[in-house]
Amino acid sequence: MARNSDLLNRDEIGNLAASLRPIEQKMLKHTHKQGVSRIWFQGEEPYFDMFFELKNDQIIWFQFTLRGKSLSWDSRTPIMQTGDTNELQIGDVSFYAASKTIEHDPEIDLKFVNLVKSILQARADETIFARALALFNENC
């Protein structure tokens, strides 16, 4: 499995994008924030997923993880952040999906940001992905 985004060609990016499938809402932990809904997409590869929180049909938070890397955005501090997850580390705790931790990069990983943008662009005809893509134009 290639980890660096610059090693992926257009077909691989398209395959990753096409593999993202919505997870049933009943599997999501419901938030106590009034008017906030969550959407979770999971890709075919292990550790490939994207989470959205929406309020009034606007994204207020999202997180994208792939191959031990993470990109996140929060409307309260509207900047993109990249980081590394513990998902590729071997150990008892990291096998439990809810135990994912993220260590933010000191500087944004532009190669990973561009990979995420490419994956979103491949699904830009779908509203949620188009909205996420617009955040890159506003915050990068």
Q: pLDDT tens digit string along 24-54? A: 766 555 555 778 889 999 999 988 999 999 9
Mean pLDDT of 59-76: 95
Residue type, 123: R
Q: Which of 1-10, 19-28, 32-41 has the lowest mean pLDDT?
A: 1-10
Helix (H) / strand (E) containing 1: none
Residue 114 has pLDDT above 80, yes or no: yes
pTM metric for this prediction: 0.82
Handedness of CA 132, 112, 72, 50 (dihedral sign): positive
**Residue-by-residue DSSP string for 42-100:** E-SSTT-EEEEEEETTEEEEEEEEETTEEEEEETTEEEEEEEEESTTS-STGGGSGGG-
- Confidence at residue 34, expressed as pLDDT on a 0 to 100 scale: 78
Q: Which of 90-94, 122-126, 133-137 is predicted least confidently?
A: 90-94
Say how far apart CA 116 and CA 42 lie, in whole Å. Answer: 14
Residue 3 is predicted with a pLDDT of 47
Q: How far are the Cα atoms of 15, 48, 113, 134 from residue 11, in angstroms, in the given order?
A: 6, 17, 18, 23
